[in-house]
Amino acid sequence: MNTAEGQIMRTFLRHGLYLILTDPRDGYETLCRWAVEAGLPAVQLRYKGHNEREHLALARALRQITKGTGTLFIVNDRPDIALISQADGVHLGQDDLPAAEVRQLIGPTMLLGLSTHNLEQVAAANAVPVDYIGFGPLFATNSKERLAPVTGPDILKAALAISRYPIVAIGGLTLERIRQLQPRPHNTAVIRAVNDASDPLAVMRAIHESCMNRTS
C-alpha cells in the first residue's frame, strides 16, 4: 500500500458511525445531509432497486452532498457506479466481483471494503488489497433477506485479533449493544436503527458519540 492510499485509509477510518442508507424513511438525500451535519466518517449507498439510471442519479446526488466534507461516500456492490459518480470508495460482498480485480479497476487511491461473515473469510481477506473489512452480523437483523449466521461479540474479538485491516462491525447493532462491545471495532455500521428512526439525526449523533468513546 502506498503512502497516499494509506493516508486515505486513515482518514476514512477515524472512529465513528458508518451509516448505510437503504430505503430511509426520510429519504436518501435528507439522511445524507444529516450524516454530514453529524460529522459521520462515511455514508454508504446500498440501493436495492433495479433502475440503473435511478441508482446512478442517486449516487451522484449523494456525492454532491458529501463532496468537500469530512463524510466520505461509499457505493455498495457496484464499482462502475462508484467510478462514474466519483465516489470515495466501493464496498463488496462475498458474492460480488473479486476484490483483487476490482482494485485493478478502481486504482490504488479509491477505498475498497469487503464484507466478511466468519473467521475464515477474515483470514482470507488478509491476502487481498482492501482498505477495511466489514464483519457480521453480530446480532440478528432483518436488513438483509439472506442473512449469514450470527457471529456475536466474542467472534468479533477473535476477528479483531487476526485481521490486518480495520474492522467495521455490523448487524443488529443498537446504541446499547454498541456500548457493550469490548474491544471496540474501528467503526460500527447501522442500517435500520437510523433509516427507520423517528428522529434519525438524534440517533446518528448518539451512536456516533458512543462509537467515538472508546471506553464506555
pLDDT at 142: 78
Residue 13 banded pLDDT, cuts 50, 70, 90: low
Q: For the whole model, what pTM was predicted?
A: 0.92
pLDDT in tens, 154-181: 999 999 999 999 999 999 999 999 999 9
The pLDDT assigned to 11 comes to: 43
Q: What is the pLDDT of residue 143?
A: 73
Q: Residue ranges of the domains in the chain? A: 3-212
| Residue-wise pLDDT tens digits, 190-206 | 999 999 999 999 999 99
* pLDDT for position 92: 98
Q: Is 30 helix (H, G, I), strand (E, B) or coil?
A: helix
Classified by CATH at the fold level, domain 3-212 comes out as TIM Barrel (3.20.20)
Given this model, what pLDDT does residue 9 score?
Answer: 42
Mean pLDDT over residues 9-15, rounded? Answer: 57
Amino acid at 85: S
Q: What's the rounded Cα separation, in Å, for the pair 50 and 64?
A: 22
- Helix axis angle for 52-66 and 28-37, nearest 10°, is 20
Convert the pLDDT of each residue in 105-158 to its tens digit: 999 999 999 999 999 999 999 999 999 999 999 999 877 666 789 999 999 999
pLDDT tens readout for residues 20-72? 999 999 999 999 999 999 999 999 999 989 999 999 999 999 999 999 999 99
